[in-house]
Amino acid sequence: MSWALVIGLAAITFGAAAFLLKVGKGGWSLLGATLLFGLAGYGLQGSPGQPAAPGAFSAEQPVDGELLVTARREYFDSTQLPSRWIMTGDGFARRGDFEQAAGFYRSATEENPRDLEAWIALGIALVEHGEGNLTPAALYAFERAEALDGSNGGARYFLGLSWLRAGQPLRTRELWIKALENAPEDAAWREWLILRLLRLDAMLGITPPREETGE
């Protein structure tokens, strides 16, 4: 399968979700982020024209920092601004400077070890600074976030994306199912994760039980 066809399928998926399924503009960033990493996962394990090493692929396909920041914010109350450290780090992340961003996110966790968003942001930045590799430090950051609030699906979602890029979609599926199981019924991001899980299952040829998707 060529890259042109893969990208075309991604565009069709986005269009179907946004217009046929009446997905609001507020969730387009989260959908776009998932499609972005889905393409990355394909590039790592499904395309004969791409190198197997995550670093090599990432160098050719730079990650959109703006998209990552916006997608992360989907898991938090938009009326409550993050700490000054996170906001500064986001500025660097948007420009693709994840090393500097990670430094500010780390300062946020040091100032307030219970800052959930800071730990998630740190995990994301460390993965990107590691050229797509889920380093021990990044894994630790995601685990700390999960331990702070298991009902917030952000840590499991982004950790799942990291495993997807590493060519381990079954780990991704397990994490996303856990996120849905622990999610509040009225969580704004819940329907998006259901949609992403269904799409992942379709890619894997799995027909999930109805209770796994919360439907």
Q: What is the pLDDT of residues 63-111, one digit of tens each?
A: 789 999 999 999 999 899 999 999 999 999 999 999 999 999 999 999 9
Tell the residue number behind the tokens 């394990």, with chain if given: 45
Q: Could you tell me which of 178, 170, 166 has the C-alpha nearest to residue 138?
A: 166
Give residue 22's pLDDT: 52
Give residue 20's pLDDT: 52
Instruction: Provide the 10 A C-beta neighbour count for residue 6.
Output: 16
Whether pLDDT at 115 is above 80 = yes
pLDDT class for 140, splitting at 50, 70, 90? very high
Global pTM value = 0.72
Backbone angles phi, psi at 135, to 5 degrees: -75, 160
The residue among 206 and 45 whose pLDDT is bigger is 206
Long-range contacts of 90-94 (CB under 8 A, 24+ apart): 90/121, 93/65, 93/68, 93/69, 93/121, 93/124, 93/125, 93/128, 94/65, 94/66, 94/69
